[in-house]
Structure 1
Amino acid sequence: MQPAIKMALRAARQSSDFLKDQHARLEPASQKADALLRSVRAIENTVYERSVESLQRAYRDHWIAPAGSIESNDYVQTWHIFPILGEQNFARGLPEFATAVLQKINDRPENLVVLCPLTGEEYAFSRGYGAVLNSRRIRIRNSDHLDQTLLSCNLFTRSQGADSNLWLDMTGTLVREGAGLRHTGCAVLDMARVAGGFLDGVALVSEERHEQVMATLISQESGALSGDLRGNPLSRKSRELLIANSPIFREILKQFQPYRQRLTGA
């Protein structure tokens, strides 16, 4: 295991333990929305500050980005802390949330850890060294037909744009082809679970830049393909993301082919 991954895991485990404890104490049903939001923000700030302290002790000459930021701001070696991914789930007492630490070198993602405090899942992705779950090497599933798959899909949640029915139509296509669909509300955790073989792929609306960046490293190190729903590589202009093994990736793009013109205007 690479030294940077070991350090990231150490910081993330500290955060995971703290989040697990705070999640048990939160009592979302008894708090008003504004008070609950303040509580979650305070928890996130604590996670970030503790992670910064831990990373700075080991890497004094590395730049640490603000909480939740993926931008490197022209620094060579940078760390990016995501205190709570799946914040709405955390705030409502649901178990599907994660904490993550990412290292970039020259603005390229190199090392990533994603931890789910309530399940004990500890994913690590290191460029050129593969993917690991709880110290065990992992690879994507080898499904080759959509009717064998379980996908994370949130396309049906998007209703903006002139063609608001597009996303329902695309979701319906996956269902008619026999794909099982679910969505946890935590995209990064779902992507990590594709790497671990728990899911066969993700087809997500995603305009969050950190999700696009993490997707490239997760897919590369677990043997998956990644891109947008048109088949283009992920970039700053991407508004959706698709991750799956090669046969499923190509089959999904084939099924979405009739929607390409509508996607252009969506």
Structure 2
Amino acid sequence: MHPMLNIAVRAARNAGDIIQRATDNIGQLHINRKGQYDFVSEIDFKAEQEIIKTIRQAYPDHAFLAEESGEHQGNDYVWVIDPLDGTTNFLHGFPQYAVSIALKVKGKLEIGVIYDPTRNDLYTAERGSGAMLNNRRIRVSNQTKLDSALLGTGFPFKSDEYLDAYLALFKPLCIATSGIRRAGAAALDLAYVACGRLDGFWEIGLKEWDMAAGILLIKEAGGVVTDFSFNDSYLESGNVLTGSPKMHQLMYKTIEPYIDEKIKRQSGGVT
């Protein structure tokens, strides 16, 4: 295992331990609102601090982009951190949340780790070396028919700005597929695409820390990731469409007539 991947795994497991220890006392946690439907708990902060501390002990000059504390300046190595993706699920005792850690080197994703502490599932990826789940190699699904596919998605719940645009995409995919799941933790949704539990996934308005690790997992597992204009500006726009090469093609063909022009411009598809 690459030394930096080993450190990322250690940091993710340390954060997962903090999260799981807190599950017995959720009702006593201090909780704030970042937005109308966006919550943050003291555990988010503690888990993030633990991740940064663990990585800094090994790499004191590295930079960070973290959900709760923002940017920490450093060199060309940037750790992208979501300490608890699925905070609302966690606060309700709904066991669908994860730690997500990615490393970018000069702008390129090099390492990705997603840790599900409720199942002790560890997803890891290194650029050019494949993706793993609990040390077993994983691949995206081989599903080739949309009417047999199970897709994942996420609602644009933080703002109603893109709700109509999202619903316009949801309807044709809902009609065309065998099922759609919205579990509320994008990092795990992307990990599930990487290991074939989901055949595809799409969402509008994600943040870089929500998807950086998951995107590398999918690519290293043989999948395709684009925005809604078939470009690669998903980290900037927050709009993502992903699956196996065949499933991605089928999903894009299905939704293309319904993609809002504003979303296309956001993804760099309209000038």
Q: What is the TM-score with the length of structure 2 in the denominator?
A: 0.84
**1:1-266, aligned counterparts within 5 Å?**
1-27=1-27, 35-37=30-32, 41-68=41-68, 75-154=75-154, 159-160=160-161, 165-235=164-234, 237-260=236-259, 262=261, 263-264=263-264
Whole-angstrom distance in 1 between the partners of 2:45 and 2:98: 15
Q: Contact 2:154–2:203 at 8 Å: present in 1 too? A: yes
Q: Aligned partners of 1:13 and 1:19: how far apart in 2?
A: 10
Spell out structure 1 runs of 4+ moving beyond 3 A. 35-41, 63-74, 155-159, 211-216, 260-266
CA RMSD of aligned residues (A): 2.7
Asked whether the equivalents of residues 212 and 235 of structure 2 are also in contact (C-alpha less than 8 Å), the reply is no
The Cα shift of 1:232 comes to 2.1
- Counterpart-to-counterpart distance in 2, 1:122 and 1:5: 12
User: Given residue 75 of structure 2, which amino acid in structure 1 is its aligned partner?
Assistant: Y
Moved more, 80-89 or 227-236: 227-236
- Code of the residue aligned with 1:122 in structure 2: it is L
1:105-131 per-position Cα deviation (integer Å, ceiling 9, x unaligned): 113221111111111111001111110
Gaps of 5+ in 1: none
> 3-state SS of the aligned residue for 2:104?
strand
Q: Quick one: distance in 2 between partners of 1:63 and 1:155?
A: 31
Q: Unpaired runs of 5+ in structure 2?
A: 34-38, 267-271
Larger Rg: 1
Contact 2:81 2:101 in 1 (8 A): yes
CA contact (8 A) 1:150 1:181 kept: yes
Deviations 1:118-156 (CA, angstroms, capped at 9, x unpaired):
111110011111101011110111000111111112358
- 1:197 CA displacement: 1.1
Whole-angstrom CA distance in 2 between matches of 1:242 and 1:4 = 28
**Which residue type is aligned with residue 218 of structure 1?**
L
2:208 alignment partner AA: R
One-letter code aligned to 2:244: N
Residue type at the aligned position of 2:223: A
Could you tell me whether the CA contact under 8 Å between 1:139 and 1:197 is conserved in 2?
Answer: yes
Measure, in 2, the Cα distance between the counterparts of 1:265 and 1:234: 11
Q: For 1:90, give the aligned amino acid.
A: F
Percent identity over the alignment? 27
Counterpart Cα distance in 2 of 1:13 and 1:6: 11
Structure with higher strand content: 2
Q: Distance in 1 between matches of 2:64 and 2:256?
A: 41
- Give the deviation of 1:3 after TM superposition: 1.4
**Aligned partner of 2:228: which letter?**
L
Q: 1:131 to 1:175 in 2, by over 3 A?
A: same
Corresponding pairs, count:
259
Structure 1 residue 167: Cα displacement: 2.8
Q: Is the 8 A contact 1:20 1:118 kept in 2?
A: yes
Shift in alpha-carbon separation, 1:99–1:108, aligned structure 2, 3 A: same
Distance 1:258 1:126, change over 3 A: same
Offset, 1:255: 0.9
Aligned residue identity for 2:196: G
